[in-house]
Structure 1
Amino acid sequence: MTFDYADFSSAFPWFFPVMAGIFGAIVGSFLNVVIYRMPLDKSVVTPGSHCACGAPIKWYDNIPVLSWFILRGKARCCGRSYSFRYAFVELLTAALFTTSWLMFPPAKALCGMLFVACMLCALFIDLDHMIIPDTFTIGLGVAGVVLSVFVPSLHGQHDGVFFVSALQSGLISLQGLLIGSGLVLWIALIAEVLLRKEAMGFGDVKFVGAIGAFTGWQGAVFSIFGGAVVGIIWIALAFIWKKIFGDRIQVAPRAETPDGQPAELGMGVQIPFGPMLAVAGLLHFFYFTHWMDNYFAELAAIFQG
């Protein structure tokens, strides 16, 4: 007796989306470890999860999402409070994994899950430390090109001959990587000349290339300009929030002076652009792919007369 995915999905349409959500929550728990340890050059494997007081966390206190609510955000061993962000990352990963499974065929959905995991890691690490590790830039870019060859549907290639589809998909991915990183590099260089100071970190250059490897050059372009829009909205909302509620809950992105000192949002300070790029990249991957493709196709037709 062979397993028939289509028949099983038809009989139990809830099964695979639920499994994707559970898997996403588990992966989200691991992402929390990566987000905390990787910038500190610590192993993400050993030692096991432990409290800030040093006590190991029992398995029943380390259940994704649920443990934070059961413990009410306080460690069982010492009563210390720990951030809701741990549960939020797990919830967000679960939601995006489920969305990926519901929106795409299985092979592309799995590629989407890898893309989501790396976007979230880069987002929160850059938010905390203003760096994006090469794992989520160079590594993700290479993975995007390789996966594009083996999973042509990642870039919508469905030619009857697999070799042709694989070649087309790989070229689209490589084009996205090169155009994305090259465009940001030129923007950064021109801005540096005009402003007479560094306007964008090289990590952002590599990061947009990695986004382009999964979304094509259209997605890379969207992440640059869409990320700028996300940043403007975020900062505007942060100013409004501060005016109404004060500094009790910090919602503004991290800001630093050029010499690395913490600073208030304002002119002349540096803020991480990676989170905005990640949000825009995810928006394109899930929702704006066809809209952007059609937009650039129409634009090309206008220039071609």
Structure 2
Amino acid sequence: MLSDLQQIDALFPALFPTAVFIFGALIGSFLNVVIYRVPKGESIVSPPSHCACGQPIKWYDNLPILSWFILRGRARCCGAPYSFRYPAIEAFTGGLFLLCWLTHPPLVAFAGLVLLGLLIPAMFIDLDHMIIPDGITIGGTVVGVMVSFLIPSLHGFGGSGIFVLDGMRSATHAILGVFVGSGLILWIALIAEALLKKEAMGFGDVKFMGVIGAFLGWKGAVFAMFGGAIVGTAWFAIALLIQAVTRQKQSAALRAETPEGEETEVGFGAHVPFGPMLAIAAGTYLLGGYRPFNAYLDQFLQIW
């Protein structure tokens, strides 16, 4: 079976990458539903996709990426416009799936696709609502440990020839990543809260780091934590600049709230979503950042 797939890949090298991109775009369409419905407490299964006017969307009007351009961004049933973000997320998901496929062996790539399917909705839900649902954080952590057991090569295991032994080692590595990731961000949050005398980070971010640690191990969790801080600093600076140039109270680049949950301008003391920064850093590690970082970290640990 595997040899047959390798022969097909050799004869048609563009076949699998194209299929992965299309599959990613289809998943992106589903993630749009998750991003829209989950924060509202609605089912992601029923009712099927429908327009804001209540009419069901026909399958030919629900083609990932293409339908928005065919319909020129307006619903066929009522002519109401709908956001360009829908095809953008579909293309974004397809592109990330393709990159993951091209940078990893098939089984590890599959695990990476599962992680990306969790990172993307977490990122956009946190941007929109300043929350990361437990279904993504707690559920994603459990899934990450299970995937680690089933795909030991995700964490570099698989050489013993005994699947159960390799799976247990990999799952143990994933659990270590959960505790290191969640514990690291929890301690930083507690220290920041003690210094600032107010909540510095939501508990959803702590649980979200558990997902990242389960899939990427403790090294990936460390990278996501400090990489997320760098991304967040740059994002914060850009949001401040846009806010100053446009002279708008709220920046379109970054949502900000007061401690009481009211929208406010981006600035020191305002609450901003950190989940997207963690997701970007985790995605960067998954899609190639792990190579230089792990090499550097291994050298550093050898010195000590």
Q: Is the structural similarity TM-score above 0.5?
A: yes
Q: Distance in 2 between matches of 1:250 and 1:59?
A: 36
| CA distance in 2: counterparts of 1:288 and 1:117, whole angstroms | 19
- CA deviation string 1:10-36 (max 9, x = no partner): 011111111111111111001000110
The alignment status of 1:259 with 2:260, answered yes or no, reads yes
Deviation per CA, 1:236-275: give whole Å up to 9, x if none: 223334455666x964111001101111111211001001
Counterpart in the other structure of 2:239? 238
Residue 95 of structure 2 aligns with which residue?
95
Map of 1:15-94 to 2, 5 A cutoff? 15-94=15-94
d(CA) in 1 for partners of 2:144, 2:123: 18
SS at match of 1:194: helix
- Supply the distance in 2 between the matched residues of 1:240 and 1:180 (Cα, whole angstroms): 31
What is aligned with 1:185?
186
Amino acid in structure 1 at the alignment position of 2:193: E
Other structure's SS at 1:31 match: helix
Q: CA deviation at 1:145?
A: 1.1
Residue in structure 1 matched with residue 4 of structure 2 by the alignment: 4
Q: CA deviation at 1:150?
A: 1.2
Structure 1 segment 143-158 matched on structure 2, within 5 A: 143-158=143-158
SS in 2 for 1:137: helix
% same residue: 52
User: What is the CA–CA distance in structure 2 between the aligned matches of 1:197 and 1:129, rounded to whole Å?
Assistant: 20
Q: In the alignment, which residue of structure 2 is the partner of 1:284?
A: 285
TM-score by structure 1 length?
0.94
Q: What does residue range 89-238 of structure 1 map to in structure 2 within 5 Å?
A: 89-161=89-161, 162-238=163-239
Provide the C-alpha distance between the structure 1 equivalents of 2:105 and 2:30, rounded to a whole number of angstroms. 25
Distance 1:279 1:103 in 2: 17
Matched position secondary structure for 1:16:
helix
Partners of 1:270 and 1:240 lie apart in 2 by: 17
Query: Residues 123-162 of structure 1, C-alpha deviation per residue, up to 9 Å, x if partnerless?
Result: 0111111111111111111111111111011112231423
Shift of 1:88: 0.8
Unpaired runs of 5+ in structure 1? none
What is the CA-CA distance between 1:164 and the residue it aligns to? Answer: 3.7
C-alpha separation between the residues in 2 aligned to 1:287 and 1:134? 28
Q: What is the alpha-carbon distance in structure 2 between the residues aligned to residue 172 and residue 2 of structure 1?
A: 27
Q: Distance in 1 between matches of 2:118 and 2:222?
A: 19
CA distance, structure 2, for counterparts of residue 231 and residue 102 of structure 1: 28
Verify the 8 A CA contact 2:174 2:216 in the aligned structure 1.
yes
Rounded to whole Å, the distance in 2 between the matches of 1:13 and 1:60 is: 29
Aligned length: 303
2:294 is matched with 293
In 2, Cα distance between equivalents of 1:36 and 1:217: 31
Q: 2: CA distance between counterparts of 1:61 and 1:143?
A: 33
Contact 2:127 2:273 in 1 (8 A): yes
Aligned amino acid, residue 269 of structure 1: A
SS in 1 for 2:52: coil
Give yes or no for contact 2:100–2:286 (8 Å, CA) kept in 1: no
Pairwise CA distance, 1:172: 1.4
